[in-house]
Copies of this chain bind each other. A is one copy, B any other.
Amino acid sequence: MAAIGAMPEINGIRQKGRRSFVTLILTILTSSQSILIVWSKRAGKYEYSVTTANFLVEALKCALSLAALIRIWRKDGVTDDNRLSTTWDEVKVYPIPAALYLVKNLLQYYIFAYVDAPGYQILKNLNIISTGILYQIILKRKLTEIQWAAFILLCAGCTTAQLNPSSDHVLQAPLQGWVMAIVMALLSGFAGVYTEAIIKKRPSRNINVQNFWLYVFGMIFNAFAIMTQDFDTVMNDGFFHGYSLITVLMILNHALSGIAVSMVMKYADNIVKVYSTSVAMLLTAVVSVFLFGFHLSLAFFLGSTVVSVAIYLHSTGKARR
């Protein structure tokens, strides 16, 4: 943040505007993502193989980053900051987040032996706490005490908003389920914070170059996942078997929100990302009332209140730093 602090004031405002913009975009994309998931579930079961869709998401992000870069090259010419060629020293850490996500996604298959799906949704909120802890440890940036209080509230508020009559089952989940949930939360928190560390390490490097290399490794790891998990299905039924309009929209959405996440990491941080996705979760519920006739529970109102207060406290807590 030192480099940003040294910028002239006008750049500070532009920086802040860009930060708010990417955060807003991420929030909108994340909530439309959840709405697409609900829509696709209502339209029937997942017919396509998830691994091929994930691969396409990475490939699309790669292509979009490259397209953005070509525009920049035409406008500004190729510079040290925006050239695609890289060094081993820069690129060697890029596979780590992709590898962490892969391990996390593999664990996801096993956790359902111990925890049911609504319980898993509840346990996923542990991500919030793990991100906060790892953000502080790895990026060595301190949250104030008020901001920590806000973060705990964010976790409690999100969980409250998602409560349903069967949520209590999660308390009876065996120890293995809890341990796996905590490990998964740590993996995903670590991947997020590590991505931020990579992107922020070279502040002047163009984000599209950084994304390009991140997504190249994403493609490689997802190709590996196709081969180990869905090789037969892809060989017998074809790569695009079971794809529908919703599938295409979901891939498009995932790709765009993936890029938005990177932008938030570059111009804001993991903490902002967590707030953004939490607000998206609440927004999704409200939109679903109109789209799918869902009804909002008292727990949702209470959870939303707590999340709102958390957002307020996070921002005042920052001002006092």
Interface residues in chain A, defined as those with a beta carbon under 8 Å from any beta carbon in chain B: 122, 145-146, 149, 152-153, 156-157, 159-160, 163, 165, 167-168, 170-171, 297-299, 302-303, 305-306, 309, 312-313, 316, 320
Contact = CB atoms under 8 A, between A and B. Distances in A.
Contact of A312 (B149, B297, B303): B149
Contacts of A153: 153, 306, 309
A152 B309 contact: yes
Closest 3 CB pairs of A and B: A156-B305, A156-B302, A160-B302
Nearest to A119: B298
Contacts of A320: 320
Nearest to A171: B298
Contact of A146 (B165, B167, B313): B313
Given A309-B152, A313-B149, A122 B168 contact: no
Given A122-B298, A153-B306, A306-B306, 19 more contacts: A146-B146, A146-B313, A153-B153, A153-B309, A156-B305, A156-B306, A156-B309, A157-B306, A159-B298, A160-B302, A163-B298, A163-B299, A165-B165, A167-B299, A168-B297, A170-B298, A171-B298, A299-B299, A313-B313
A309 B306 CA distance: 11
A163 B165 contact: no
Give the residue among A146, A159, A168, A302 with the most B Cβ atoms within 10 A.
A302
Contacts of A303: 160
Given A146-B146, A149-B312, A313-B149, A167 B306 contact: no
Contacts of A146: 146, 313, 316
Contacts of A165: 165
15 contacts: A145-B316, A146-B313, A149-B312, A149-B313, A152-B305, A153-B153, A153-B306, A153-B309, A156-B305, A156-B309, A160-B303, A160-B306, A163-B299, A168-B298, A171-B297
Contacts of A312: 149
B149 A302 contact: no
A311 to B, nearest CB: 11
A123 to B, nearest CB: 11
B309 A149 contact: yes
A28 to B, nearest CB: 26
Nearest to A151: B309
Contact of A298 (B145, B149, B152, B167): B167
A146 B145 CA distance: 12
Contacts of A163: 163, 298-299, 302
